[in-house]
Structure 1
Amino acid sequence: MSQTETIPLEAQHSGRKLGWGLAALVVAGNMIGSGVYLAPVALASTGSSSLIGWLVCGAGAMVLAAVFAGLGRSQPDADGLTDFTRRGLGRFIGYQTAIAYWGVCLTGNVAVALAGTGYLAFFFPALAQPGPAALCNLLLIGATTAAYAAGARVAARLGAATLIIGLLPLLLAIVAGALAFSPQTFSASWSPEGLPLARSVPASLVVIFWSFLGLESAAALSRLVRNPAQDVGRASVAGVGLALVVYVAASVAVFGVIPAGELASSTSPFADLAARVFGASVAGLVAACAVVKAVGTIAGWTILGGETARSAAEQGYLPRWFGSAETPGRLPLANPLINGAIMAGLVVMTSQPTLAGQFGLLIGACTVLTVCLYALCCISLFRASRAPGWRILSVVGLVFSVGAVAAAAPGNIVPAILLFVVASVGWLFVRSKAGGRVDPGSASL
């Protein structure tokens, strides 16, 4: 999972504008989060054939990034995914989007904490066990929740400060892989379970696309770039492209040095790779950087989860504990405390015998939910735009999103269905409280 909104808050009000190149680096940084650090472990059963999945997901992510660029260009005043879907598909879908995205932020944060704990296990092997790992996850979530409770600016600065540090492990892994790459190792790991590509590659798409989550942050840059009409689209596609290059190079490096069978039991694959090539001292540096990046990513998604809940409360979708329509923008202390408690509960409920099992369970459910929201945004763009180019783009994005969900394992799809059902029950209360009101400017449904 990627860290979103890593732009320091003061930059949003300074009046300085970003060129498309710098904006592209910001987009790439928002996606390249700590989740990728455990991706080789989750993909060990697919092996080096997961390279095909990276290319497929990268192409789909570029299309979706362009979709959000179109939405951001046509609706620069929208308040994130909730507003995009509400305006295009009605208040009910806007409500479902708010609840689902809030759930993704909280659940995804637990998965990010797992990645940080996995790399801490490089220094403290006991953290590879379920009990100590759960305690460490709780501590990481508690620390970043406290930072958010102290103010969004504190958590945002924490996330921004870890961006460059987090890239170091991937760059070192790429260099190590280039120096020690073995074609025989890469070939032997092509399909560890002997499955045909038609079965192994589709199954890997959900795990892989996790690393592209956050591409929707590109739309938020429209007010910060010099020429939104052109630069948002350029920055979105270039940012996804840069992230894709890093992902592919890092994946090839790992599978070209470490056999897939050994990756399956690893808690810190890039640190293990660095240790094989450069020695234990460099491996320790990689692991430390990954932990720092994990903390920053948790901080970024803690802000996003809290702000999503606040916005939803202001629209009447959630209780006033998270925010109030009477005082828009104010963050009640109950907001981060409740979110932190929910994440702590998720840590306990999803405990698995191995970090890889728990990580795979969480990111599968989160990715399916988020891709469903991307599909709704594609439909919103189709309805909002009359230009043939944007409409074709939205259809391609919709086809990719539906295909990615269809390729997911049933165990990843069921949580999304359950959330929709539970949220629909909640909608009955929201609608009765609002007296059946439909917001002006939104489609009725």
Structure 2
Amino acid sequence: MTAATVTATGSARQLGWGLAALVVAGNMIGSGLYLLPATLAPTGSSSVIGWIAAGAGAVTLAMVFAALGRLQPGADGLSGFAERGLGRFFGFQTALAFWTACLVGNVAIAVAATGYLGYFFPVLKTPVGGVFCNLALIWLTTGAYIIGARTAARFAALALAVGLAPIVVAVAAGAIAFDPATFVDSWSPSGAPLIQSVPASLAIIFWAFIGVESAAALSARVKDPARDVGRASIAGVLLATVVYILATVAVFGVIPAGILAQSSSPYADLIARVFGASIGGVAAACAVVKATGTLSGWVMLGGETARAAARQGYLAAGFGHGETTPIANPLLGGAIMSVVAVISNQATLGEQFGHLVALTSVLSLVIYGLCAVALFRLAGRPRDRVVAILGLLFSVASVAAAAPGYILPTAIFFTVTSLAWLRVRRNRRPADPDGDGTRPA
């Protein structure tokens, strides 16, 4: 392997279900955990209800991807599932939507890492300092993917172990200093009834579960997709859900919602309150490592999605040949992420993060809904059809609960990609079903 290519053959392909599960959990337990308490401060401690609901929905979606992995082990990522179940039009839509979600979401992850770096370097909390730090993180992790997909996966798994350490400490700090009055007072800071505030927060909360599809998206890299995609998906989601609920209770039981809203490093602030500023600094450093590892995993997913789309004839051949990813693929992805980082820059990191994660969540939930419909079409067992219906209902309900400002850009995106499909059909290259870099005549 050279620095100019990433291959899925030989040892680079060998991702067992355990490592894949850590990639799933690692892709979720990152910016979603480290910065969301500040974003969810207006919802308050009642957001724990949203975490439980989102966790249940994520487990259902994990079962959707487990069934798809079992039924279609040869499918190359989410677009492969959609194409086999719904046809090439929806395969094209899914490929472009998931690639876009990866690129936009990656910027949000970089913003979260920058927020914790701001614990040490306050200048990074400014718009100019923040955008330069975001760009540096994007290109650091793009470089890891260029070196090799397995390198990126190992980095993400190692970062998960490092990143969980401060969360364990934060949960312990919350148990020591937990104040029921603080938790109750922060239940609904806006005063809105829960039937309004909790559903409206689901699109933001579900950002923390974006990654449930990671094992399925990497199905071409997994040893035994028919078995291991399901195992990895469900195990990763369950691990993440437990961590999210414990951490949310801890932070809202110690820090009032009004103060959380102004924080760029909520868990470091929690630990500093209980154990001192020096320990809080260690937690912030671990959070930076974890968020960077999460970014590394998602950069890999974005590149693999573009490679699969090129193999299927949805993107230009320069994005991939069979199971080989040319260097142009990650370089172009890094360039697009850089543009998004600049144009999405806001006065505060929290504001920028909130906009990016909500847009990514709504776009991803639409993709999950399409995959659920694909499963319904492909399923031969009644149990799989029930799972498909539940996954679709959760996806539709979550999108419907999102703010209209996030639904409209998603609708525009799919309108544009539908028009682009007309051009793709006219200039369509045959697909590469064998994955050998050649296409039938």
TM-score normalised per structure 2 = 0.90
**Match 1:143 to one of 124, 140, 144:** 140
Residues 327-373 of structure 1 show CA distances to partners (whole Å, capped at 9, x for unaligned) of: 42232222222111111110111111111110010000100111111
Structural mapping, 1:70-81, within 5 Å: 70-81=67-78
In the alignment, the residues of structure 1 paired with residue 325 and residue 21 of structure 2 have an alpha-carbon distance, to the nearest angstrom, of 30
Conserved? CA contact 1:76–1:223, under 8 Å: no
Which residue of structure 2 aligns with residue 112 of structure 1? Answer: 109
Conserved? CA contact 1:34–1:166, under 8 Å: no
Q: Tell me the SS of whatever aligns to 1:162.
A: helix
In the alignment, the residues of structure 2 paired with residue 199 and residue 31 of structure 1 have an alpha-carbon distance, to the nearest angstrom, of 26
Give identity over the alignment, percent: 58
In the alignment, the residues of structure 2 paired with residue 224 and residue 365 of structure 1 have an alpha-carbon distance, to the nearest angstrom, of 29
> What letter is aligned with 1:385?
A
1:179 aligned to 2:173?
no
Conserved? CA contact 1:91–1:439, under 8 Å: no
Which residue of structure 2 aligns with residue 429 of structure 1? Answer: 423
> What letter is aligned with 1:363?
V
1:411 aligned to 2:408?
no
Which residue of structure 2 aligns with residue 3 of structure 1? Answer: none
Which residue of structure 2 aligns with residue 294 of structure 1? Answer: 291
Q: Tell me, which stretches of 5 or more residues in structure 2 are unaligned? A: 1-9, 434-441
Aligned CA distance change for structure 1 residues 333 and 30 (closer, same or farther; 3 Å): closer
Which residue of structure 1 aligns with residue 94 of structure 2? Answer: 97
Which residue of structure 2 aligns with residue 375 of structure 1? Answer: 369
Which residue of structure 2 aligns with residue 52 of structure 1? Answer: 49
Deviates more, 1:96-105 or 1:149-158: 149-158
Aligned CA distance change for structure 1 residues 334 and 394 (closer, same or farther; 3 Å): same
| Greater than 6 Å deviation, 4+ residue runs | 437-440
Which residue of structure 1 aligns with residue 244 of structure 2? Answer: 247
Q: CA deviation at 1:117?
A: 0.2
> What letter is aligned with 2:389?
V
Aligned CA distance change for structure 1 residues 90 and 361 (closer, same or farther; 3 Å): same
Aligned CA distance change for structure 1 residues 232 and 430 (closer, same or farther; 3 Å): closer
In the alignment, the residues of structure 1 paired with residue 139 and residue 356 of structure 2 have an alpha-carbon distance, to the nearest angstrom, of 19
TM-score normalised per structure 1 = 0.89
Which residue of structure 2 aligns with residue 168 of structure 1? Answer: 165
> What letter is aligned with 1:418?
I
> What letter is aligned with 2:14?
H
In the alignment, the residues of structure 2 paired with residue 404 and residue 147 of structure 1 have an alpha-carbon distance, to the nearest angstrom, of 34
Q: Tell me the SS of whatever aligns to 1:331.
A: strand
Q: CA deviation at 1:119?
A: 0.1
Which residue of structure 2 aligns with residue 271 of structure 1? Answer: 268
In the alignment, the residues of structure 2 paired with residue 260 and residue 193 of structure 1 have an alpha-carbon distance, to the nearest angstrom, of 10
> What letter is aligned with 1:283?
G
**Match 1:365 to one of 349, 359, 362:** 359
Please report the RMSD computed on the Cα atoms of aligned residues, expressed in angstroms.
2.4
> What letter is aligned with 2:165?
L
Q: CA deviation at 1:239?
A: 3.1
Q: CA deviation at 1:221?
A: 6.8
In the alignment, the residues of structure 1 paired with residue 235 and residue 310 of structure 2 have an alpha-carbon distance, to the nearest angstrom, of 35
Deviates more, 1:331-340 or 1:231-240: 231-240
Which residue of structure 1 aligns with residue 340 of structure 2? Answer: 346
In the alignment, the residues of structure 1 paired with residue 86 and residue 17 of structure 2 have an alpha-carbon distance, to the nearest angstrom, of 32
Aligned CA distance change for structure 1 residues 357 and 48 (closer, same or farther; 3 Å): same
**Match 1:335 to one of 315, 329, 337:** 329
Conserved? CA contact 1:180–1:257, under 8 Å: yes
Q: CA deviation at 1:211?
A: 0.8
Which residue of structure 1 aligns with residue 14 of structure 2? Answer: 13
